[in-house]
Amino acid sequence: MTHPLLQLAPEVAEAIEAGRPVVALESTIISHGMPYPDNVAMAREVEQIVRDGGATPATIAILDGVPRIGLDADQLELLARDPGVIKVSVRDIPYVVARRGHGATTVAATMRLAALAGIRVFVTGGLGGVHQGGEDTMDVSADLTELGTTNVAVISAGVKSILDIGRTLEALETLGVPVVGYGTEEFPSFFSRSSGFRVPMRLDTPEELADLMRAKWALGLGGGVSIANPVPAQDEIPAEEMDGVIAQALADCAAQGITGKDITPYLLGRIVEITSGASLRTNIALVRSNARLGAALAVAYAALAE
Ligand code: PSU
Ligand code: MN
């Protein structure tokens, strides 16, 4: 049933086979989204939160050219500290597999591999989207294309204002992707609960989210669902505070001449530096919160599928 090129961890394979709840987790956030050792501590803690919520965690990455669904402690450690790990979006998957390399998967690549394994719920921190100036550079994350085609629900804390949030929401509408505010009318901007943009739809419980997923896919409406879960209020950094930080990081990025797939990792690292680590604490807090919701959603969705 499972794709022959995928390697599933035994507990993940058993859970999928039995129809028990499974939550996919990405690995670019580990290798290229946070500094060591906070990244590996976060990765372990998030897996534990998913377990405590009654689901099986499946962190996804490519190791020695093998797409793996579910990793052990040594594999998480390797992803967290090996500088040879490549950032892998969908276009990079065949290269890393053929070259037998190590790859940390983005939201787009993780969605695709999760879907191949039969996993429908995926937890991350922030989505990629239309970059600022994207109307000229055409720098639009493949995360959006993937949300348009692959049947996985992605829980994030919204989109950072390193991106053009308005154009990102427009692109998601064009692609037919439901963007659901979880308990909110306003689309969150990762560090902040607000963004100045409304969500097109709001739901308030994991059961309601599961119903939407089932309705979409039962009707043959392929593609993803973007669930925007605002950072908990006590952990947020107000948008006004982040605006200056992000403007500084974007200016530094341009001055350094950084382009393409290196832009997002550079900006994430620079924001941690400029905020002296405050942004990292918020980042970790929102991932924890997303993991709690992801486990609850996987449980609710598995109950429907019975
Ligand atoms: N935004 C974050 N943290 C991240 C990323 C984005 O706040 O770690 C990562 C995710 O893996 C996302 C990827 O899928 O960056 C998007 O990169 P790009 O813009 O190159 O598609
Ligand atoms: Mn890009």
Q: Is residue 212 a contact partner of residue 180, using CB atoms and an 8 Å limit? A: yes
Model pTM score: 0.97
Q: Is 66 annotated as a binding residue?
A: no
Q: Is residue 136 a contact partner of residue 254, using CB atoms and an 8 Å limit? A: no
- Whether 240 is catalytic: no
Average pLDDT of the residues in 250-264: 95
Task: Report pLDDT for 4.
Answer: 85
Over 60: is that where the pLDDT of 282 sits? yes
d(CA 219, ligand 1 centre) in Å: 30
Q: Is 261 annotated as a binding residue?
A: no
**What ipTM does the predicted assembly reach?**
0.98
What number does the ligand 1 atom closest to the CA of 128 have? Answer: 16
Helix axes 142-149, 107-117, angle to 10 degrees: 30
Q: What would the two tokens of residue 16 be? A: 């999928």
Task: Report pLDDT for 165.
Answer: 97
Q: Is 107 annotated as a binding residue?
A: yes
Catalytic, out of 160, 186, 236, 261: 160
Residue-wise pLDDT for 120-140, tens only, equals: 999 999 999 999 999 999 999
Average pLDDT of the residues in 246-266: 96
Q: Where are the alpha helices (DSSP H) in 19-160?
A: 28-31, 38-52, 73-81, 93-98, 107-117, 134-137, 142-149
Residue-wise pLDDT for 217-241, tens only, equals: 999 999 999 999 999 999 999 999 9
Task: Report pLDDT for 276.
Answer: 96
Indicate the top mutation candidate among 85, 122, 143 to test ligand 1's pocket, ranked by most ligand atoms within 8 A of CB.
143
What number does the ligand 1 atom closest to the CA of 107 have? Answer: 14
Top-confidence residue, 116 or 2: 116
Average pLDDT of the residues in 239-255: 95
C-alpha span between 126 and 155 (Å, rounded)? 9
Cα–Cα–Cα angle for 118, 121, 52, rounded to 5 degrees: 110
Residue-wise pLDDT for 16-42, tens only, equals: 999 999 999 999 999 999 999 999 999
As residues whose CB is below 5 A from the ion ligand 2, the structure lists 139
d(CA 127, ligand 1 centre) in Å: 6
Q: Which residues pair with 105 in a beta bridge?
A: 88
The residue whose CA has the least distance to atom 10 of ligand 1 is 106
Residue-wise pLDDT for 42-95, tens only, equals: 999 999 999 999 999 999 999 999 999 999 999 999 999 999 999 999 999 999
Task: Report pLDDT for 3.
Answer: 83
DSSP state, residue 57? E
d(CA 261, ligand 2 centre) in Å: 5
Q: Is residue 62 a contact partner of residue 101, using CB atoms and an 8 Å limit? A: yes
Task: Report pLDDT for 306.
Answer: 57
d(CA 23, ligand 2 centre) in Å: 26
Nearest ligand for residue 190 CA: 1
C-alpha span between 106 and 90 (Å, rounded)? 8
**2 burial via Cβ count (<10 Å: 0-12, 13-18, 19+):** middle
Mean pLDDT for the chain?
97
Task: Report pLDDT for 1.
Answer: 59
Cα–Cα–Cα angle for 262, 267, 270, rounded to 5 degrees: 125
- Whether 160 is catalytic: yes
Task: Report pLDDT for 2.
Answer: 73
Task: Report pLDDT for 156.
Answer: 98
